[in-house]
Structure 1
Amino acid sequence: MGDGYEDDEQFDSVYANDEITDLIGLNVRDQLKQSGLSLIELLKRDKESCEGKDSDIAWYHHKIPRESAESLLKEGLRSLQGHSDGLFLIRDSTSSEKDFVVSVTHDAKVYHFQIKEVFDGHYKIDEGPTTQGLEKIVNYYQNGANGLITRLTKHCKGSAPPDRARVTGPTNILHKTVLQGTTCLHDAAKYGRTEIAKLLIEHEADVHIKDRAGFTPLHRACASNYPEVIEVLIKHGNADPQTRAPKTGWVALHEAAMHGYPDCIKKLLHFHAPMMPRADDNQTPLDLAKRYNRLDCIDFLQFPDRRDVRSKRSNWYHSGLDRKGANAVLENFRKEEGLFLVRKSTRNQNFNVLSLCHKKAVFNFEIKVMEYQDQLVHYIDDGPFFQSLEHLIDHYSRYADGLSAKLRASVNPGNDRIEIEEDYYNIASNVDNAHRKSAGPPPVPSNRPVLPPRPPEPEEDEDFYAAVDNDQSNAKPPPLPPSHPPKVAPSVKKQESHPPAPSLGERQTSFEEFKKISNKDIKLGGELGQGEFGAVKKAVYTIKRGFAKHTIDVAVKTFHEDGALAGALASIMEEARLMQRLDHVCIVKLYGICEQPFMLVEEFISKGSMLDNLIDHRKNIKVNPTLYLWAAQIASGMCYLEEQKIVHRDLAARNILVQNMDQVKISDFGLSRAYMEEKNYYQASKGGRWPIKWYAPECVNYGKFTHKTDVWSFGVTLYEMFSWGEQPYGDKKGIEVMQFIESGKRLSRPEDCPDTCYEMMLKCWAKEPEKRPTFGDLFEHFCADKEYASVKDISKLKTKRKR
């Protein structure tokens, strides 16, 4: 036995009744006996040992900006005399609280790659493998470039990664005693050790970390009926009561209701937890209380919710505003972070829309209404039910809970900015209000997805609530699908290693095929939207012919100079190469490129996407002749693409731009590809997310794209047009859509769609591609059918097709 204690009896007299050693278990007590050290001394020694082991993974630099990362790496290169490709560091992403960025050097330049969190603690870069913990992903790219610009070598010294992003987290003796995949804070919560929980939080224990079963300490406290621990976790640790368990989607209130603990329910509601959160199967805590006959809990879990709200409807409700009007109002305040308003939905008069500013963009979330427990409730996506709009706004002003930002201030109909006041209990509303000390910012506690701060990519689950306001649809299309995906649910193909891409300044030779435009002839204006690799801006292009000059408005795609662009440049150049070949009145024109800085200069289409026009300006659009004319023009442009042997692969209302009521143009050729003459189809070869709701079955099942698959997409686009922008297939997920189609079902006829048009839609959706009409057939149909007689009178339509 160690020198500190003469015998077991003396040791037990000191520690047998100690709450801490009782909690941490016999393993630690054995170590204390053997070493003769006190618990504090033993923990201190173990901490020093852990810090030594963590030096090899001290590449984490918290939430530093891109410029600081580049400065640190360039300073490191100077100390290494510039001979170290692969010098790197990892930092928090500025676009997502869950993601990270690896910044790495190559040829004395710094490149940045997003590390996406796929699910709790599992990460990937681009189409690389998904690995558990940042240590493993770093180790993978230290063993080879594997798609990065170079292999990771040395690192700029920082600190070890945060516990939530590590494979095992800290390895001190407290954690070594945990055999069931829990931390000491989980055990303190489970066994009601309030003072220990408070002490652990004071020493920066992570209140959001999940145990092996996916539960947070707050879940454990609720399941064990310890309301005092709940108060400590929320009040002192900023625990989020809306964090979901991954297997069920239960939040803490579900646990308290299922176990029948009214005191825990009252404590959670005291800290403004929503009364009606929903699990993955849509069950509320009230449903659970009724199922398990928890009679003493039911009264606390059903409406009315009598808690005070901090904001009045008159502070934020605009009954006569549409999307563009809301955007203009918020623009008056420079789209301040967290600024919002609520307006009537233009697609469904029973719904409302929350327009919210985040990172200088406006996100629109549809607030739906349904009947639940004999009462109308309001909700966003899979969020909680609320008895009124006022309660919904109050909740999202306390917790972001899946929105892109927390609501901070509103604009009223009088155009006044009104701040939402913080209150005492709002310290738990979001991690950005945390006051505890920390080496870096805490993670977003909720595992609901946080919407990206750029326009969402079209994918199988795209929906209205995630739409971003832009005058023009400029979001970059999703990556290409894999060459041989398994049926319905495509897998990710491992990206092969490729040689480092040169910087933009070194690529002059690849630009020779393009028309060059001097950047002196381009005067950039306001931003139209954000893409994955940069911004789209309105600009004025000065065209010189001899001594004569004239100006036109253009849309300019600008790009960040970083590693993400280097990896995607081939795709960007392929899009530009295709667009340069195209010359048709129904297709957006590429005027040329600027080299320094690198920009694509395209035709400016003033009225934005057809989808936005269908939703926002329905009253100004006539079924006959406007929709018929637009359908004919889209078919005309697609005929031209067919002649050029180009498949579009992303034909949808969001990618049709409106120049005026008499002219639309096909845009967004990021997914478009030319095929070889002998194949007559394009075979996709890269992994990625797909706009499945617009895809024919053979696209999803075999990665095969032809003009006949574009025809299928044209049919879905017609559905969008004649339903005034309705989401195809409603709320169905991608796999549900494919099952729906393969069962022989098709989208139903929109109310304002003529029978002849719907019959043509159904032909576009024929199971056998050869039975689908050609774009020539479609063009003739929309020009010649008696339903569309007035379209014939639109001047020059026939000649447009022939060009």
Structure 2
Amino acid sequence: MATGGVPAKASSVMYFYGRITREEAEIILKERGCREGLFLLRESINPLGNYAISICHNNEVYHYSIEKQIDGSFMIPQGQKFTGPIELISHHKNKLDGFVTKPTVECDRLPCQTPVAFRGMTYMDLENELVKKAETIKNADMNKALGSHREHLVTMVSKQLHEKQPWYHGKIGREEAEKRLQKSGHSNGKFIIRLRDDKKTFALSLSHNNQTRHYIVEKQGDGKLAIQDGPKFECVIMLVDHYHNKQDGLLCKLSTPCCCPGYDKKKYQKYLENASDNLAYLTYKDLKGRQASQRNGTPVSPTGPPGRRLSSVNRANIPLPSVPKPDPNEPVHPAPLPPGHHDRHPLEAATNGFENHMGGRPRNGDAMEEIYSQLPRTKDAFELKEKQIEIEDELGSGQFGSVRKGVVNMRDGKRVPVAIKMLKNQDIQPGCEPEILKEARLMRELSHKYIVRMIGLCKAKSIMLVLELAALGPLNSYLKYQRLPQWNIVELMMQVSKGMQYLESKKFVHRDLAARNVLMVSEHFAKISDFGMSKALQMDSNYYEASQAGKWPLKWYAPECVYYWKFDSKSDVWSYGITLWEATSYGQRPYGKMKAQEILQFVVEENQRLPKPEMCDEDVYQVMLLCWMYEKEDRPNFSEISNKMEVLYQKLRSLS
């Protein structure tokens, strides 16, 4: 039950920083020494009304979501309810209750700093706007308006805030927007928001590579705003704030506004001071030094007033948050907040618009599987015309070319979200194209729950392989952001073993099984990808000729693959063991920085194997060791592995 009483305002405490990102929180905490129990509170970027606590433990930063419930209370996942985030933190200062450590050391803002509301706007500015709005509402209860009803009031106010921003140019056409961007000087990420002719929707005009690109910001059925297939927002200013933090299908992130003609220069300067580079604030040392200089009467360098955000740090150089190592004596749940939860996982954007394409909301993996499993697998349906395919955002790139999100318009009228592999022309060696087409058509016959099915093939300017969309991306990348419990990882790897068992039964050898080729459909659903294409593209010799092991899959190859160039299902078993090691070590690189010859000496000459990952169950590690038997006849087949993994999953699940 939630504790009673009127909750304290988040803005009333000095350890509240407003709407900053998890990366910014990590920079601030590490700058302050990352001492045990050091913490700050921040408002979630999305959705509105939620918070997150970022806390230091063992020189790492953990993030926990504080979610607002339907009854108005706040709680961390699987935690107790409290009237507000301040009350929740006060409780955890005395009791762990699932936290990795107690939040005992407040990481306070300096007196000159105010929490961030939106880019270019402080929390104080927003509170003033809220008060103004509340005073205009007839018979409004100010305590409720600024308290329990605050999120509703913020939404009301925020819907007009764009009109006061330097990047909003009102109702102008695309040609005028292009002229204004050209005149102000193109730079990647410079942008304009403009009102369209219907006076209800907007457009984003974005500078990229000295050209202007335009994106329509449409109003959805629920009244929210979104760029096509992008996340939805209550208002324009939230949309702009989001695309400063996340690229999400744009050619680049938003950076600086193209200032509207006639905009007040002082207001524009203030905006820039509170928005530069989207990093939280000047460094703690810089601010302390500035204050000391002011006390001593030393002139302050003209870099802006105290409270200005960092402008000297290149956001592209900020390291991604390191993977925290939890205390084995503390429970795993509730899980630290991954970017996919409120701050959004980097590949989560690929699922946006799925409900629009399918006419419903099939968000979970089983619902998506039902859709894909029922698609026709006939030759006619498989041979796709270029006009059937709508190519959208890039999801990534790899050895087989770029991967784009898209939609296939099936002959029966269905619009199906897909991933499209655009094969690089330079990687298709002379004479290989017929082999690629042959291999792709063979893959048409393969259909299993735990493999990424090939939906179709299109031979246009480049060869396009149209596949199921597994939108959360590669397993190794996912685990670096999402700290899943070990039973959940074993669940996913059990699914991989079942998929490999199916391929084994079809006499199909993968040849490149690795965590990067296991794609996440959901937290509890994984599929194997990229089987067959290494053979079709004749990439194997290229791998072997590479100078560094990091650029070719020797780390995943069985000894007979390296020495005798022999591949079969038992060599895939060896690769499965390496993939299992990657998963249970949360995406670490096997063999670290060892070079090719060092790996061969370690594995073959010294008969050594990778050590057990820290959090891995001993019985799971024994499965790896069986997969790494030198003689392939001594390794289990995938049917045996699948049975073992299912037993281990049930065991670990029951103990969680």
Tell me the TM-score range normalised by the shorter chain: 0.3 to 0.5
TM-score using structure 1 length: 0.34
Looking at CA atoms only, which structure, 1 or 2, has the larger radius of gyration? 1
